[in-house]
Structure 1
Amino acid sequence: MTALDELTKLLPPPERRPAPDYDWPAIEAETGTALPHDYKCLVETYGPVRFSANLRLCTPHGGLDLACWTALTRELLGDPDFPPESEHVPAGFALDPSALQPWGSITGNEYCLWYTAGPDPDTWPVIVGGPAVWGFYRGTVTEFVLALLTRTLPHSEYFDDISEFVEDHGAYCVIDRDGAQSTIHAA
């Protein structure tokens, strides 16, 4: 069973799939990078979505538009004061702004990024957080979302903080479609 299968079992998306027919080659040209297959499947399954209200998935032409968020994030991450020196960056990761590609956001204007190490986007690890504290996850976006919602993220200062919200409020998602929102709670 894939992480997407497990996620859709935990939070079944509405029967009606997202309306947009995503032109992935055009979207990748617009963002300037190839995108992981896992991310594309997640977007095609849920469309514009917030998971447990604190993790918002960037989608092409959605409320948090991927191309716009990419441009803004690259500008912000390109600030000479970013990133701060960080001693807790594990081996195999870097906070080099030129190697970071956004895919979402966390409440509080924190980033959800891929570390674009290597030519295969399907192997890019996930980095989430902000200038003061970062979380590093070796897995796909869907695996990260599933681990967040099932409270199985590896122990770290950042992951413990964002997992508290799920612990307090439960696993759910809010899907935005055609100007209407639908909330799905885990069974």
Structure 2
Amino acid sequence: MTALEDVAPAMVPFRSEAPRGVDFAAVSSALGSDLPTDFKELARRYPTLEFDGFLRVPLPRPGAESAFVDGIRRELEILRDLQDDDMAEGYEAHPAPDGLIPWSESLSGDVFYWRVAGSDPDSWPVVVSGRNDDWWEFPGGAIAFLVGLIDGSVERRGLPGDVSSRHPAVRAFPD
């Protein structure tokens, strides 16, 4: 989390001093899967964040965990439609083996997923589905991906080259 705050210091004023009280057991139960530790740590300290008016990271709100899971389910239905139309590059929606779980999106139609590769959520790679049908994988987790996108160390295949900027503006959506 520190690495993300270092490259996006504008997010720090939105950090909660105490953990936000998200019930991740309820999220995991409803989803049928745990989530990566880095994402849970982000959600314990921050509300939903948006970087440079481009990339939004929806984070569960305490007491509204079911709404968060409903959002994931809607994205999974869209992914299933892409599968049915042979437009998902062979990827499948969770709970299929190696299935995808969405965790972020751009305001331009790009979707960012985890590929559930094994039983350890902390080892799941990020899969990018670009709005122009560019699909690719990043071997790290959500925070490492965000840091790399902001500092320029992650490829941007199919994503705009100028977003997010080196010092992104950050908007928060308080609980």
TM-score range, shorter chain: 0.7 to 0.9
- Among 161, 164, 168, the alignment partner of 2:162 is 164
2:29 corresponds to 1:7: no
1:150 Cα deviation after fit: 0.8
Quickly say closer, same or farther: Cα 1:109–1:15, change in 2 above 3 A: closer
Q: Is 44-53 or 116-125 further displaced after alignment?
A: 44-53
Q: What's the % identity of the aligned pairs?
A: 25
The unaligned stretches of length 5 or more in structure 2 are none
- Give runs of aligned pairs for residues 1-187 of structure 1, distance below 5 A: 4-12=1-9, 13-14=12-13, 17=16, 20-61=20-61, 65-79=67-81, 80-84=84-88, 86=89, 95-97=91-93, 98=96, 99-130=99-130, 132-154=133-155, 157-158=157-158, 161-167=159-165, 170-178=167-175
Contact 1:36 1:121 in 2 (8 A): yes
Aligned to 2:13, the other structure's residue is in SS state: coil
Q: Is 36-45 or 137-146 further displaced after alignment?
A: 36-45
- Give 2:153's aligned amino acid: T
Contact 1:83 1:96 in 2 (8 A): no
TM-score normalised by length of structure 2: 0.80
> Size of the alignment, in residue pairs?
161
- CA–CA distance in structure 2, aligned partners of residues 45 and 71 of structure 1: 24
- CA–CA distance in structure 2, aligned partners of residues 51 and 116 of structure 1: 25
1:153 Cα deviation after fit: 0.7
- CA–CA distance in structure 1, aligned partners of residues 107 and 136 of structure 2: 15
Quickly say closer, same or farther: Cα 1:82–1:52, change in 2 above 3 A: farther
RMSD: 2.4
Q: Deviations over 1:108-136 (max 9, x none)?
A: 23211000111110000001224711232
Quickly say closer, same or farther: Cα 1:123–1:23, change in 2 above 3 A: same
Quickly say closer, same or farther: Cα 1:16–1:157, change in 2 above 3 A: closer
TM-score normalised by length of structure 1: 0.75
Aligned to 1:96, the other structure's residue is in SS state: coil
Quickly say closer, same or farther: Cα 1:70–1:16, change in 2 above 3 A: closer
- CA–CA distance in structure 2, aligned partners of residues 37 and 73 of structure 1: 21
Aligned to 1:165, the other structure's residue is in SS state: coil
Aligned to 1:35, the other structure's residue is in SS state: coil
Aligned to 1:78, the other structure's residue is in SS state: helix
Aligned to 1:163, the other structure's residue is in SS state: coil
Contact 1:114 1:126 in 2 (8 A): yes
The unaligned stretches of length 5 or more in structure 1 are 87-93, 179-187
